[in-house]
Chains A and B, each alone.
Chain A
Amino acid sequence: MKLTVWTYEGPPHVGAMRIATAMKDVHYVLHAPQGDTYADLLFTMIERLKDRPPVTYTTFQARDLGGDTAELFKSATKSAFERFKPNAILVGSSCTAELIQDDPGGLAEAIGLPVPVIPLELPAYQKKENWGASETFYQLVKTFTCSDEGQIGQVKKPICNILGPTSLGFRHRDDVEEIKKLLTVLGIEINVIAPLGASVLDLKKLREAKFNVVLYPEIANSAAIWLSKKFGQPFNKSLPYGVLGTNEFVKEILALAEISSSDSASETSLRNFNRSAWYSRSVDSNYLTNKRVFIFGDGSHVLAAKDVAIKEFGFSVVGIGTYSREMAREVRVSAESSGLKALITDDYLEVEKAIEETQPELILGTQMERHIAKRLGIGCTMISAPMHVQDFPSRYSPQMGYEGANVLFDSWIHPLMMGLEEHLLTMFREDFEFKDDVTPSHLSHEKSKFTEENKRAEDSEQVFSEINTCKVVWEKEAEDELKKIPFFVRGKARKNTESFASSRGFSKISIETLYDAKAFHAR
């Protein structure tokens, strides 16, 4: 049993729903208790889809458990087929149905439907949402690319599939648009985009591409690996995230398409779409140098965000982690290369602890890190699922490609205090309006009461001694001096000074210790 305040991923059947809902003509019959239809709301409310997800639930109740739940499943499957006439049916269990052990696959088989029935084995007590989506997509791709045994020769034309975008994906809608534009400019044709918007017929056509573009490895890697083994379709490893990432991606895609860079005249002009490189270079961004950033999210977004943060925005990454265990190795390697230890966990409380310890000035994370950021009074931007309704925006807001890089610049910088205000706050501490540690004034409407409570808490001795587990005591004057340091770096300064003092065996911190520590830790 695990104490879970927030969960980064839903159960695996939600992943399967994301695939079914993304596609056009697939129906999902889910053996599940009454109430599990809450998942429909993720699609109709959070993503604001206009149709009900193509999911039929058996919604059994306690009184059904004494009876024949298997029969209930069969009749639900039969009537779902008759009503919706899908071209393929997915069948599976939710966590509770897994316990009662009816066999959806076998039961659906027994009905003898005239369309393919794909049984999903999604172990709800071991695996999670992304795994469920990935497994479902893989099973669908396997079923439909194999069913048609006609021979297809080696594809010569530069034509590709885009794999990975789903329903409920973080900015998948606009990423796909952006990458479609990019590929078109490069002279690459798009065969099939799947699962988002694809039909069963489209899946059968997957083989007609020369290569695959995987945008979301969490969803599409297993399908891409299978397609590469079965039909020799190679796929990309880099992701078009940030300017440098997109450059790298373009290079890789041109190689996969066997187009030489010189053939693609428009390749360089592509970069004209981008403004973020200049914005980051402009002197206004100088103060962003070495801003301390903590990054958490799914594996691929975290890896990509780290590169952008360091190489494009000049931040310093002080913590990095992911909840995607499948990506643990890559994230660890990347963290080590920056002298960090990756945090691989799906435990919100551990993430909270790590953020408290590193005292970043900005958190790049998920909806869950927003809760932590609120508690600690730190700026936060979303870079990855899970997300809520505000991250399915109406406006065009890709994360990928050159326009995506523009979006990243604006949205990551926004929560930080702006340069002039930061300078003035450091110089003058007693202004009645632009006070220490209040929300940056360009965000004043977002001012949270909590930041103030936090300040009060920090100022009160009692809480201070709780936070401060080491034995070093602050002299009154040093404590006052500490308060003159701007709020967003004060936490770090406190930690640095305390660790400096205890490493020297000091029992008291004076003003001089504070400045000694500052010199010691100077960047």
Chain B
Amino acid sequence: MNTPADLIVEKEIKFDHKKNNLNSTSENNSYKQEILKEKGQREVFCGLTGIVWLHRKIQDAFFLVVGSRTCAHLIQSAAGVMIFAEPRFATAIIDEKDLAGLADANEELDRVVSQLLSRRPDIKLLFLVGSCPSEVIKLDLSNAAERLSKNYLPNVKVLNYSGSGIETTFTQGEDACLKSMVPEMQQSKGSKEKKLLIVGTLADIIEDQFSRLFKKIGIENFDFFPPRNSTDLPEVGKDSVFLLAQPFLAETATELEKSGAKHIPAMFPFGVQGSYEWFLSAAKEFGVSEEKVTTVLNPYISRAKHAVSKSLGLLEGKSVFFFPDSQLEVPLARFLHHELKMNLLEVGTPYLNKKLVAKELFKIPNETQISEGQDVERQLDRCINKNPDLIVCGLGLANPLEAQGFTTKWSIELVFSPIHGFDQAGDLAELFSRPMYRRKKIAALKPKKENFGVTQ
């Protein structure tokens, strides 16, 4: 296993942005391709969107956005198609009075929080979520969270993080949220036994699968973070090692390192290869032999390979273009290239944390254009010129591209679907092949622009 990728990873690098310069100048990195860095209009979500899945994961938490009507409108447009009897998120909408003086704004916030908590006595954890307006007027929400915590503990803990568009893109909202919870984790006492922390929101069913597999491999002492209930926060300390399940958790990782935990570099558990490597990385850390891991995982590997192969017919040899959205792009492109033999035209990502995706980057072919950031109009030009068979993009672009005759896979679904691990590898492949399949299936409708009828 002396591949260059392992060399990169074994050289331990701290999560420090300034030192995080594993670019093409580093001789250890075999990834030679220039990364295109673009600046311009970005067609992405802000971090507030993370609330849409986080509120389901942490069931006793409430997310109070401190922002404008725009923020409230964003969340309800994203989540409001579900009919809520008791939604677990809301917005404290800043009005003109609050803009006049900051002292007032704090009193106002206290009033809103007390109104909220008297309505929802079941809440154990309240997140004050910062937005662009609250950050531009420099409303100090971390101070407010401390003050309110003092008032409401032990019943309610109040934390703060930023989900603003100026600071965070889409899944980075989860990173910021988890980061804010790390200081609340109990420091583990004394190092009896090494303990594994699996970090990142996972579908409940996947947590259960992973639990079974870790136990089979022989790792018994592990916790998931975030927990399903805020009162079940795992401990952290010098005896902790952590494995990221999602590639967008750079800040959370830094914070965990500050608490003494050690990061296990790994690929991400997407597809057969990623999942195997992910478990193997953890196993090595716990001194489990590769042989044992392989023996335990073999049935899962062959089952998953079989499931993935079902999509091969539709995807093999087809080209794919990724627009930036969630930072899942690089690992997913790796999966599509290696396990479904797709041809990668461009892999766009909102941010490229080279340390986190080092092992993944190494697997991306050199002829693939990797781009960080976005100038959406120019990227659309590039995309249309390359005429991809499949375009992975956000919902703002998907239907307009379909109407031009392209086949698209809307990327947000990848964040909302169980896609991690062996038993989801087939489903993950299917998410990409479904639009191709559908296109074939309804071919009689002649889905060309002129046959679509009028919208208005």
A residues adjacent to B (C-beta < 8 A): 1-7, 9-11, 13-14, 22, 33-42, 44-52, 56-62, 64-65, 76, 79, 83, 94-96, 99-100, 124-126, 128, 173, 196-197, 349, 367, 370-371, 374-375, 386, 388-389, 450
B402: chain A residues at CB < 8 Å are 50
Are B91 and A374 in contact, CB atoms less than 8 angstroms apart?
no
A3 to chain B, nearest CB (A): 5
Q: Mark B39-69, 1 if CB is under 8 A from A, else 0.
A: 0111111111100000000000000001011
In the assembled complex, the CB of A371 is this many whole angstroms from the nearest CB of chain B, namely: 5
Report the bound CA distance from A38 to B119 in whole Å. Answer: 30
Cα separation A347 to B90 with both chains bound (whole Å): 12
Residues of B within 8 A of A125 (CB): 68, 94-96, 99
Contact between A33 and B132, CB atoms less than 8 A apart:
yes
On chain B, the number of residues with a Cβ less than 8 Å from chain A's Cβ atoms is 68
A51: contacting residue among B47, B66, B78, B400, CB under 8 A: B400
Q: Is the beta-carbon distance between A7 and B399 smaller than 8 angstroms?
A: no
Which residues of chain B have C-beta atoms less than 8 A from A95's C-beta? 68-70, 132-133
Distance from B136 Cβ to chain A, minimum over Cβ atoms (Å): 5
Q: Give 9 pairs: A residue, B residue, CB < 8 Å, sorted on A.
A: A6-B87, A7-B73, A33-B46, A34-B166, A37-B41, A48-B399, A50-B449, A96-B132, A96-B136
Tell me the smallest distance from the CB of B67 to a CB of chain A, in Å: 8
Is B1 part of the contact surface with A, judged by Cβ < 8 Å?
Answer: no
For the complex, is B200 an interface residue (Cβ under 8 Å from A)?
no
**What residues of chain B lie closer than 8 Å to A370, measured between beta carbons?**
83
Q: Is residue B98 within 8 Å, beta carbon to beta carbon, of the partner chain?
A: yes
Q: A173, B92: Cβ atoms under 8 Å?
A: no
Can you name the residue of chain A whose Cβ is closest to the Cβ of B173?
Answer: A35
Contact A1 B92 (CB under 8 A): yes
| Smallest Cβ-Cβ distance to A62: which chain B residue | B166
Q: A128: which B residues are within 8 A, CB to CB?
A: 69
- Please state if A124 and B68 are interface contacts (CB–CB under 8 Å): yes
| Set of chain A residues within 8 Å of B66, measured between Cβ atoms | 1
User: Are A1 and B98 closer than 8 Å at their CB atoms?
Assistant: yes
Among A1, A35, A36: residue with most chain B CB under 10 A: A35
Q: How far is the CB of B99 from chain A (nearest CB, A)?
A: 6
CB of B455 within 8 A of CB of A124, answer: no
CA distance A95 to B46 in the complex (A): 15
The docked-state distance in angstroms from the alpha carbon of A173 to that of B454 is 11
In angstroms, Cα B396 to Cα A41, docked, is: 5
CA distance A50 to B402 in the complex (A): 8
Decide: B400 and A389 in contact? CB cutoff 8 A. no
Q: Knowing that A99-B136, A126-B96 are A-B contacts, what are 15 other residue pairs whose CB atoms are under 8 Å apart, sorted by A's residue number? A: A3-B115, A7-B76, A35-B46, A35-B132, A36-B70, A38-B46, A38-B78, A38-B396, A41-B395, A50-B403, A59-B40, A96-B136, A99-B133, A125-B68, A371-B85
> Distance (Å) between the CB of A215 and the closest chain B CB?
15
Annotate B128-148 by CB proximity to A: 1 below 8 A, 0 otherwise: 000011011100000000000
Q: Closest A-chain residue to B410, C-beta based? A: A45
Q: A35 touching B44 by the CB < 8 A rule?
A: yes
Asked if B92 and A2 make an inter-chain contact with CB atoms under 8 angstroms apart, the answer reads yes
Closest to A370 in B: B83
Inter-chain contact B112/A124, CB cutoff 8 Å: no
Q: What are the residues of chain B within 8 A of A6 when measuring CB–CB?
A: 72, 76, 80, 87
CA distance A40 to B99 in the complex (A): 28
Measured CB to CB, the nearest residue on chain B to A49 is B455
B399 adjacent to A49 (CB under 8 Å): yes
Note all chain A residues with C-beta closer than 8 A to B49: 38
Residues in A neighbouring B109, C-beta threshold 8 A: 1
A44 touches B94 (CB 8 A): no
Q: Which 10 A-B pairs have the closest CB atoms?
A: A35-B46, A35-B165, A40-B396, A50-B403, A1-B108, A95-B68, A96-B132, A10-B73, A33-B165, A62-B166
Q: A388 to B132: give the CA distance in the assembly, Å.
A: 26
Nearest-CB residue, chain B, relative to A449: B85
Q: Is residue B288 contacting chain A, with contact meaning CB distance below 8 A? A: no
B133 touches A45 (CB 8 A): no
Which residues from chain A contact B166 at a C-beta distance below 8 Å?
33-34, 60-62, 64-65, 96
Chain B residues in 8 Å Cβ range of A14: 70, 73
Cα separation A100 to B69 with both chains bound (whole Å): 17
Q: When the two chains form their complex, are residues A3 and B399 in contact, meaning their CB atoms are under 8 A apart? A: no
Question: Is B136 a contact partner of A3 (Cβ separation < 8 A)?
Answer: no
List, in ascending order, chain B residues with CB within 8 A of A38's CB.
45-46, 49, 74, 77-78, 396
**Most interface-central of A37, A94, A388 (chain B CB within 10 A):** A37
* Chain B residues within an 8 Å CB radius of A64: 166
Contact, CB under 8 Å: B42 / A37: yes
Q: Which residue of chain B has its CB nearest to the CB of A7?
A: B72
B264, chain A: closest CB distance, angstroms? 31
CB–CB B48/A35 < 8 A: yes
Q: What residue in chain B is nearest A13 (Cβ atoms)?
A: B70
Complex Cα distance, B454 from A50, in Å, reads 9
